[in-house]
Amino acid sequence: MLALPFAPRGWRRCRSSTHHLGKMTDTFFARPIQNSPYECPARHWELDAEGQPTQRLVESRRRAEFITPIPPPRKRKGGAQKGFVFDEGQGLSSERQQYDLTSIINEVRGHVSEWRHLPNERDWLVTPETARLLRHWRHHEFSDVRPFFCQVEAMETIIWLTEVAPRWKPARKFLDHLDAANHQANPALSRLALKMATGAGKTTVMAMIIEWQTVNAVRRPQSPRFSRGFLVVTPGLTIKDRLRVLQPQDPDSYYTNRELVPPDMRGDVAKAIVVITHFHSFMRRQRVDLSKGGALSCVGAAARRSSPTSPTARCSSA
């Protein structure tokens, strides 16, 4: 995880115009990265209200916040245009006042950080299987690719919300917030999103989620919190092919090649059922009205294709 998640607006102009920003190229642009990707960020470059660096290093992690405000609607002829209201999930926002979610995000991040540093595993309030996986991701001596801090933190967050928060009364408000947001967006499907930067390694996090859920589901089949069945929906065929590494039986499986699973748990992960498809498979198929004769022709053609003696069948089976 980097201290600078994006390039500030106008950085090309600022870099060439050193007379405008003084010693910008000697400080900010010379050392934009201030943290290790394997540790929690400890410092960041301060940005002003316009997203420009102030040359000041702040000895703390950058707070999560929305940098770009929602622009006001343009006025059009024929009367004022009704503004778009960003719904924060609890029905609090209106045209006069909109509430952002960053306070919730930062508060959850703080609780997860405190929970992460608890020395006694009995205070983690997770299953022994989850505790084993957390120790593995945090402390295992990986021979090649080691999980980034942002990947482990993503898993810690979803584990905290799933296993810890329901057992800790002060965290009830976060679960209520998620329930309210899901009820308003889609009452029939509860969803939880992990927002990660491009290149942060989302595929690895997907593999970690699958193994965490599967190991617990296999060893605790009566628990409603865990599952070993997963549906992965991709934006296209290219990404679908890349995500085959999420299949436990794939020769390039992340679970073994990246050592994400302790050896004694790989048998449990092999029991995961992972279906990978693309969103086009959910699109409504086009319906065409056919005459009775046309419909019979289609049925006859389908029957001929399914017949083992038909030329089409012989070609496809060969």
Same-domain check for residues 278 and 165: yes
Cα–Cα distance measured from residue 212 to residue 223, given in angstroms and rounded to the nearest whole number: 13
Q: What residues make up the domain containing 154? A: 102-184+201-282
In a domain, 141, yes or no: yes
List beta partners, residue 253.
Answer: none
Question: Could you give the angle at which helices 128-139 and 202-219 cross, rounded to 10 degrees?
Answer: 150
| Residue 74: inside a domain | no
Question: Are the C-beta atoms of residues 57 and 44 closer than 8 Å to each other?
Answer: yes
Q: What predicted TM-score, i.e. pTM, was given to this entire model?
A: 0.72
Same domain for 165 and 47?
A: no
- What's the pLDDT score for residue 300? 66
Whether 233 contacts 279, CB under 8 Å? yes
Instruction: List 4's β-bridge partners, or say none.
Output: none
Helices (H), 220-279: 237-242, 254-257, 266-269
Say yes or no: 252 and 143 in one domain.
Answer: yes
Does any domain span residue 288?
no
235 shares a domain with 114: yes
Give every residue of the chain whose pLDDT is below 70, as ranges. 1-26, 66-101, 295, 298-318
Residues with Cβ within 8 Å of residue 218, at least 6 apart in sequence? 228, 268, 271
Residue 106 domain-assigned (yes or no): yes
- Which pLDDT score is estimated for 121? 93
Cβ atoms 52, 9 nearer than 8 A: yes
207 plus 276 within the same structural domain: yes
Tell me whether residue 69 is in a domain: no
User: Are residue 142 and residue 52 in the same domain, yes or no?
Assistant: no
My answer on whether 164 and 18 are in the same domain is no
Task: Of 36, 30, 27, give the one whose Cα is nearest residue 3.
Answer: 36
Look-up: residue for tokens 């990986």?
142
**Read out DSSP for 123-159?**
GS-S-HHHHHHHHHHHH---SSPPPPHHHHHHHHHHH
Inside any domain, residue 216: yes
* Domain identity same for 24 and 171: no
For the chain, what is the domain count? 2
Residues 248 and 137 occupy one common structural domain? yes
Same domain, 253 and 106: yes
| Same domain for 221 and 128 | yes
What pLDDT was estimated at residue 96? 47
Q: What does DSSP say about strands 44-47 and 53-58: parallel, antiparallel, or unpaired?
A: antiparallel
- Check whether residue 115 and residue 53 sit in a common domain: no
